[in-house]
Amino acid sequence: MSEFMDIALEEAELAAARGEVPVGAVVACEGKIIARAGNRTLELNDSCAHAEILVIRAAGNLLGNERLTGCDLYVTLEPCTMCAGAISLARIRRLYFAAEDIKGGAVENGVRFFSSPTCHHAPETYSGLGETRAQQLLLEFFRKRR
C-alpha cells in the first residue's frame, strides 16, 4: 500500500478520535505530501469541512494557486458529489481512494460525477488502495455509535 494512503488512514484515525466520521486525505505533489487532513465537520460546525476539501484548500494556499495540476489526492473513502466537484475544479491529476461509498459516493457510485458530460476535468481514478483498513475504521466507528 502506498505510504501516502497510510498517512491518509492515520488522518482518518485521528478524525475518529475527535468523534468525526473517519475519513482522511492527503495531497501529494512531486512525490511529497503538501497537505493532510481528516474530517472536521463537527469541530468546525461546517458541513463542507470534509477531508478532501480541507486538503485541497491547504494545498492551494501553499502553492498559491487554485489549480493543483500535477498533484495527486489520496482519500480513505470514495468522494461525495461536493468533493468530486472540488477535485475537478482543482484539476487534481490522480485520485486514489480506499473504500467505496455505496450511499454517498459520487465517483464509482451515485452520480458518477467524473463521467458527467458537464464535468470539465476528470482525474485518473484508482480505487481499493487500503480498502480493508478504511472499511474497518468506518465499520468500527459506526458500530460504536449505534
- Residue 55's nearest CA partner among 82, 89, 77, 87 is 87
Q: Could you tell me how far CA 84 lies from the centroid of its own chain?
A: 9
Annotation says 30 is catalytic: no
CB-based burial, 80-117: b 16+ in 10 Å, e otherwise: bebbbbbbbebbbbebbbbbbbeeebbbeebeebbeee
Catalytic residue among 52, 100, 124, 131: 52
The count of C-alpha atoms lying within 13 angstroms of the C-alpha of 69, restricted to the half-sphere facing its C-beta, is 3
Query: Which residue numbers are catalytic?
Result: 52
